[in-house]
């Protein structure tokens, strides 16, 4: 998904063009912000649900895999896993979503 964006960035800012000036990093930052803003709706509507499904399935597989030897794995009630589960089920905290 990101390779066309990376190629555009490299074209404009890494190829010795006038836009790739080292003394004007704000040009590259502005381009990146505008590009991300243009893709936010796609990321929220299309990509986020897919990522959430994949992460949920991965967590289910981890739960299944940890059953036979549960003493070797942290329990699903351990603080890091509780936090990770809440990120997936409830979304990102406002401090992270405010920058999008």
Give me the pLDDT at residue 62, please: 76
What CA–CA distance (Å, rounded) separates 66 from 63? 5
pTM: 0.43
76: which residues sit within 8 A by CB, 6+ positions away? Answer: 63, 82, 85
Structure-token pair, residue 8: 């555009």
Give me the pLDDT at residue 86, please: 60
27 neighbors 13 (Cβ within 8 angstroms): yes
Highest mean pLDDT among 26-35, 43-52, 54-63, 73-82 belongs to 26-35
Q: What is the mean pLDDT of residues 28-50?
A: 86
Mapped onto helix, strand or coil, the DSSP state of residue 24 is coil
User: Percentage of the chain with pLDDT > 90?
Assistant: 4
What angle is formed at CA 71 by the lines to CA 70 and CA 75, rounded to 5 degrees? 60
């Amino acid at each position: 998904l990101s390779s066309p964006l990376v190629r555009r960035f490299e074209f404009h800012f890494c190829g010795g063009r006038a836009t790739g000036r080292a003394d004007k990093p704000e040009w590259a930052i502005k381009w990146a912000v505008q590009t991300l803003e243009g893709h936010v709706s796609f990321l929220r509507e299309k990509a986020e649900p897919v990522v959430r499904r994949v992460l949920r399935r991965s967590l289910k597989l981890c739960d299944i895999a940890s059953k036979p030897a549960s003493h070797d794995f942290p329990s699903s009630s351990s603080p890091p896993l509780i936090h990770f589960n809440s990120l997936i089920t409830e979304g990102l905290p406002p401090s992270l979503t405010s920058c999008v």
